[in-house]
């Protein structure tokens, strides 16, 4: 990737041996990285594994070779040329990724569009490197109680973050492992991943000080993002043993309820939320490549092994939620009390 001039703002994001260096011409993009990846921002001087250059400009002005499409999604078309992939997001953005060097160049017409593509690309490249280490992300809320992890598996947009926020605010003894993507290893241990928290319900964040909040739009959704450093004293810092896997469901009932489930139930939903990776920011247009079928099969089996280990060491429950966040949080806290020890 050739640049005519150095980009002014540089950030390095480090997690479990992977460092992603981002270079951008936008101070806003740099500040959003500081906010969202605050727990991962390195002090500087680290050797990077992944490098992404970001500029705000018209992607139509960047030349692309004459190529035939390799894959297509709802919002993108991808073209391959050797080890380089060109990903066009309509007229809004262009990502050029060189897999041989693990370097990308992102050009987008606006800062918010550039940033949305950037943070997803960062999470995708970190995720694939974690997979190769035998560390796998689960789409779940994870809360630590007495150094044991409780995982809540729920589809995107169904209230994981609101539940987590309510639990942390109401019970200072609880610790956050991850709001959205805890990491598990082959033994089923749970590792923290402290990315910013996203909440759609503005009433749920009213008590959070303004310096720990920012608003961002994702498609037609406006979210309030919370810097996890607001919960600095409640952040789990170590790999811990699992305690429960809870599968969340919405109901029309006025009160929530918790029902014991079997091991196979936990495995089925972990297959969805870890092995397949439903809800995990994998970014198919970056993650999937022609010719790496056997590598991806190996990753799938590694994910399955970790998911089976997690399920085998956990109690499984079905959590039937109502529309009252306070009642839901108290039902979950009562479950914590029952499963201690």
Q: What count of other Cβ atoms lies within 10 Å of the Cβ of residue 240? A: 21
Q: How many angstroms separate the CA atoms of 326 and 169, rounded?
A: 11
Q: Average pLDDT over the chain, rounded to whole?
A: 94
pLDDT at residue 4, rounded to an integer: 44
- Looking at the chain, the whole-number percentage of residues with pLDDT higher than 90 is 87
Identify whether the C-beta of residue 280 lies closer than 8 Å to the C-beta of residue 298. no
Question: Is pLDDT of 258 > 80?
Answer: yes
Q: What is the predicted pLDDT for the residue at 157?
A: 74
Query: Considering only CA atoms, which of 168, 105, 194 is closest in space to residue 332?
Result: 168
What does the pLDDT read at residue 192? 98
Other C-beta atoms lying within 10 Å of the C-beta of residue 137: 26
User: In this model, does residue 5 exceed pLDDT 70?
Assistant: no
Query: Taking residues 112-122, what's their average pLDDT?
Result: 96
Q: What's the topology of domain 136-338?
A: Rossmann fold (3.40.50)
Residue 341 confidence (pLDDT): 63
Q: Indicate if the pLDDT at residue 226 is higher than 90.
A: yes
pLDDT tens for each residue of 269-299? 999 999 999 999 989 999 999 888 999 999 9
pLDDT band at 245; cut points 50, 70, 90: very high
pLDDT band at residue 42, thresholds of 50, 70 and 90? confident
Give the number of C-alpha atoms closer than 13 A to the C-alpha of residue 53, restricted to the C-beta side.
15
Which tops the pLDDT comparison, 262 or 4? Answer: 262
pLDDT for 74 beyond 70: yes
Least confident of 40-49, 169-178, 185-194, 292-301: 40-49
pLDDT of residue 2: 47
Torsion of Cα atoms, 284 then 287 then 289 then 291, to 10°: -130
Instruction: Provide the whole-model pTM.
Output: 0.93
* First-residue to last-residue Cα distance in the chain: 54
Q: Indicate the pLDDT class of residue 44, thresholds 50, 70 and 90.
A: low
CATH 3.40.50 maps onto the chain at: 136-338
What are the residues facing 249 on neighbouring strands? 320
The pLDDT value recorded for residue 1 is: 47
């Amino acid at each position: 990737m050739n640049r005519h001039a150095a980009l002014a703002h540089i950030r390095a994001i480090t997690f479990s041996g992977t460092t992603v260096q981002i270079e951008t011409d936008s101070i806003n993009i740099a500040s959003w990285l500081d906010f969202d990846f605050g727990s991962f921002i390195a002090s500087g001087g680290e050797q990077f594994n992944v490098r992404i250059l970001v500029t705000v400009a018209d992607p139509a002005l960047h030349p692309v070779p004459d190529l035939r499409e390799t894959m297509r999604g709802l919002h993108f078309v991808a073209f391959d040329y050797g080890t380089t992939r060109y990903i066009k997001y309509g007229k809004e953005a262009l990502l050029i990724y060189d897999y041989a060097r693990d370097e990308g160049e992102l050009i987008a017409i606006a800062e918010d569009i550039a940033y949305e593509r950037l943070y997803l690309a960062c999470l995708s490249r970190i995720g694939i490197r974690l997979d190769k280490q035998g560390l796998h992300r689960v789409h779940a809320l994870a809360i630590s109680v007495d150094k044991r992890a409780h995982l809540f598996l729920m589809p995107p947009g169904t209230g994981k973050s609101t539940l987590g926020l309510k639990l942390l605010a109401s019970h200072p003894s609880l610790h956050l492992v991850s709001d959205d993507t805890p990491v598990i290893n082959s033994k089923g241990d749970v590792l923290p991943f402290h990315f910013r928290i996203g909440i759609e319900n503005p009433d749920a964040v009213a008590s959070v000080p303004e310096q720990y909040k920012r608003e961002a739009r994702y498609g037609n959704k406006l979210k309030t993002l919370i810097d996890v450093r607001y919960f600095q004293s409640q952040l789990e810092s170590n790999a811990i043993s699992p305690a429960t896997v809870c599968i969340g469901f919405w109901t029309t009932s006025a009160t929530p309820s918790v029902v014991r489930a079997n091991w196979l139930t936990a495995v089925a939903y972990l297959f969805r939320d870890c092995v397949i990776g439903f809800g995990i920011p994998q970014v198919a247009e970056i993650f999937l490549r022609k010719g790496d079928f056997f590598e991806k099969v190996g990753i799938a089996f590694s994910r399955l092994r970790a998911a089976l280990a997690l399920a085998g060491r956990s109690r499984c429950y079905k959590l039937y939620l109502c529309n009252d966040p306070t009642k839901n949080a108290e039902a979950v806290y009562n479950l914590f009390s029952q499963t201690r020890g």
